[in-house]
Structure 1
Amino acid sequence: MSFIRHALLLLIVILCPLRAAAHELDPGYLELAALGEDRWRVTWRTPDVAGTPMPISVSLPLACAPREGPAPKFDGKGWSTTWVVACEGGLAGETIRIDGLERTSTDTLVRYEIEPGTVEVRRLTATEPAFTVDVVPGGLGIFTSYLEFGVVHILEGIDHLVFVFALLLLTGGTRKLFWAVTAFTLAHSITLAGSTFGWIALPSAPVEVVIALSIVFLAYEISLPSQRRDALTERFPGFVAFGFGLIHGLGFAGALREIGIPQGDVPLALLAFNLGVETGQLIFIATLLVAWFMIRRIFPGILAHLGRMTAIASYAIGTTSAYWVVDRLSGF
C-alpha cells in the first residue's frame, strides 16, 4: 500500500496543472518581419510572471535603431510590444541576443526574415541565448531548425504526451501499441500537412478543447475493466488513435503556424517538423518503457498491483484532462 500511495503522489505531481510553474516555462517570442530597404517590424513577446513581464529583453545589432520599443502591454497571456527598426547594412552576419535568458528556465523562439519572404527560425535557450544571422540561409539550416522545434514542441506539449501515455496504458504495451501509435502518426501527419497547405482551416480554440476531450475519453476507457470497454476501443485501438490523431494534427499545425514556414521551402520545413514530432514521441515512449522495465526489476511484485496502479493513473489523467477542457472552454 505504501508503494501505491507514493505512485499516486508522483502522478499528481507530474500531471496536475500548476499555473505558476507553467508561466515560468512559457517561451518568449521575437519576430523580425522584413519591410524592405533595411527596415524590419519587430514584435517582442515575453511571458507573464506574477503579473509582470519576465526579466528578459531583446538585444538587437548595434546598427539597428531604435534598439528598444515602447513599453510592453499585457495581452491576457504575456507582454507584447511592436516597433519598426532600421538596420544599416541588414541583419546578415549580425548577432541577436536575448538578455537575461541565461538566468531563466525557458527559451525564446526567434522568427526573422533577412529579406521579405525568406523566413528563418531559431530557438534560443539559457545555454545559447544568442546567435549570428546566416549570410546565406541554406536548406540544412531550415531542416535542423524545424526538426529541433518539432522535438521540443512534442516534449513540451504535456497534453499530447498524456494522450500517448494513455494509449500505452490502454494497449498494455503490446503489439496493439505499435499499430495505435502508427495510426496516430499517420493521422496527425495528414491533418498537419492539410492545414499547412491551406486545405483544412479550423480555429485553434475548439481544436484544443477536443484534444483535451480525447484524453478524457481514453482516461474513462482505461478506468474500466477490459470486458466493459467499448468494443472498438478494446479490439482496435488503432482506429480510435487514428480518429483522435486527426485532431491532434490540427494542434501541431497551430504551433507550426505560430512560427511560420519559409515560403520557398514549405515541404522541407513540414517534413522536418513532422520528423521532429515523431522523434520526440518515440523518445517519450522509449523512456516510459525503459522506466517500466527498471521498475519491474527493482520491484518484482509490482505486477500484483498493476490493476490498481492503472486505475490511479486513469483518474489522475481524467482529472487533469477534464481541467484542461474547462480551462480551454473558458478561454473561448
Structure 2
Amino acid sequence: MIRLRHFLFLVSLLLTVGKGGAHELDPGYLDIREVDGGVYTIFWRKPDVRGLPMDIDAQLPPSCTPNVGPEVVSDGAGWQTQWTALCPAGLQGQALEIAGLDRQNTDVLVRFQPLDGISSTTRLTATQPQFVIPHAQTKLQVGWTYAVLGFEHILEGWDHLLFVFALVLLIRSKSRLIGAITAFTVAHSITLALAALGHVSIPGPPLEAIIALSVVFLAIEILKRDDTKSRLSERAPWMVAFAFGLLHGLGFAGALQDIGLPEVDIALALLTFNLGVEAGQLAFVGVILVTIAVLRVLMKSVDLLSYQLVSRANLVAGYAIGSVATFWLAERIYGF
C-alpha cells in the first residue's frame, strides 16, 4: 500500500513533468530556398508552447522585401507560415536573426539552399540567435549540427528517458542491461532511418500514445517482479527493448522530419543525428548508474542498505514511473 509520503512524491513528480507532450521544446525550423536570382521561398515553423506559437520571429536582412513573413497558423504540432521574399543583393554573406530566441530555451535549425551551390544547415541558439549566411558549409559542420540536435532531442524527450530509466531499474544483470540497451539502439536506428527517408509513416498522436504505453508496460514489470520467478522481460530484456525501440525510433524520426534533412548530405545527417541520440542516451544511463552506486555506498556506510529498503525503493519508483506514463497516455489519447 502506498503511504502518504509516496503519494506526495508521485504528485510532485507529475507536476514537475507537467504537460505530457514529450517534445514541447522541439527546435524551430527555417527553410530558405532560392528559386530565381534574388528570389527566395521561405518556410518558417515555430514550436508550440501550451497551444500558442513560441514568441520568436525569423527576420531576413533589411534589404529583403518582406523581411518578416505573415502570421503563423497551427499545423497540429507547431506553427508555420510561408512567403516569397525578394533580396536583390542575395542572402549569402548577409546576416539573419531569430528575434526573441535569446529569451527561449530552444534552438532553431536554419537550412539555406542557394540556386547554384551546396545547401547549408546552421543551428541557432539562445546565445547565438543570429548568423551570417555562408557561401558554403563543410561536411564537418553539417555533421556537428545534426549530432548536437540528436543529443539535445533525446535529453528533452522525457518519455524516451523514462523508458530507459525503467529498463535500468528492471534489469539487474549488467550483461543483460548492456544487451537491452544495444537492442534498443539497433531497433530505433532502423526505424529512424526508414521513417526519416519516408519509407515508414505512422500518425504522430497514436505513436506518442503507444510510446507512453511502452513505459507503462515496463512500470508494471517492475512492480510485478518476483525474485523466485523471473519474468520474460528479465530473462530476455533485449526482446522487449528491441520491440519497443522500433516504436521509439519512429518518435525520433518525427522530430527529424519536422526539421528536414540536407539534400546533399542525407546519409551524414542521419548518421550524426543518430550518434547524437546515442551519446545523449549513454550519458543519461551513465548518470543513473553513478547515482545509484553513490546512493548504495552512502546508505551502506550508515547501515541503511537492506533488501527490504531496496525493494520499497523499487516499488515507489515503479508506481512513480507508471503514474507519469499513465498520465501521458491519457492526455495523448484525449488529444486524438
Alignment partner, residue 9 of structure 1: 9
TM-score by length of 1: 0.87
Counterpart Cα distance in 2 of 1:143 and 1:150: 11
* Identity fraction in percent: 46
Match of 2:327 in 1: 323
Structure-to-structure mapping, 1:1-332, within 5 angstroms: 5=5, 9=9, 12-13=12-13, 16-19=16-19, 25=25, 27-47=27-47, 53-75=53-75, 78-115=78-115, 119-172=119-172, 174-227=174-227, 231-300=231-300, 301-304=304-307, 305-332=309-336
Deviations 1:221-257, CA, capped at 9 Å, x for gaps: 0111235877321201011101111111111121211
Report the structure, 1 or 2, having the larger helix content. 1
State the number of aligned residues.
330
Instruction: Name the SS for the 1:97 alignment partner.
Output: strand
Post-superposition CA distance 1:175-195 (Å, at most 9, x none): 211000001011111112222
| Structure-2 change in CA distance of 1:211 and 1:23 (3 Å) | closer
Cα distance in 1 for residues equivalent to 2:45 and 2:266: 25
Distance 1:117 1:226, change over 3 A: farther
Instruction: Provide, for residues 276-317 of structure 1, a one-character-per-residue CA deviation record: whole Å limited to 9, x for no partner.
Output: 111111111111112222222333324542211111111111
Q: Secondary structure at the residue paired with 1:83?
A: strand
CA contact (8 A) 1:23 1:47 kept: no
Are the counterparts in 2 of residues 24 and 105 from structure 1 also a CA contact under 8 Å? no
Query: C-alpha distance in 1, partners of 2:51/2:204?
Result: 25
In structure 1, runs of 5+ residues without a counterpart are: none
CA pair 191-228 structure 1, distance change in 2 beyond 3 A: farther
Shift of 1:258: 1.1
Could you say if the C-alpha distance between residues 50 and 231 of structure 1 is closer, same or farther in structure 2, counting changes exceeding 3 Å?
closer
- Shift in alpha-carbon separation, 1:49–1:269, aligned structure 2, 3 A: closer
- State TM-score, norm by structure 2: 0.86
* CA offset digits 1:131-177 (Å, max 9, x no partner): 22221122111111111111111111111111100110111362211
AA at the equivalent of 1:92: Q
CA RMSD of superposed structures (Å): 3.0
Counterpart Cα distance in 1 of 2:204 and 2:75: 17
Query: What letter is aligned with 2:145?
Result: S
Task: Find the residue that maps to 1:96 and give its secondary structure.
Answer: strand
* Deviation sequence 1:30-79 (CA, Å, 0-9, x none): 23233333222223333455775443222212332111222334555554
* In structure 2, distance between residues paired with 1:312 and 1:51: 33
Separation of aligned partners in 2, 1:23 and 1:192: 16
Structure 2: distance between partners of 1:75 and 1:199: 22
1:81 positional shift: 2.8
Between stretches 264-273 and 302-311, larger displacement belongs to 302-311
CA distance in 2, matches of 1:36, 1:230: 65
CA distance 1:23–1:268, shift in 2 (3 Å): closer
Rounded Cα–Cα distance in structure 2 between residues aligned with 1:51 and 1:264: 35
- CA 1:178–1:72: 2 relative to 1, 3 Å: same
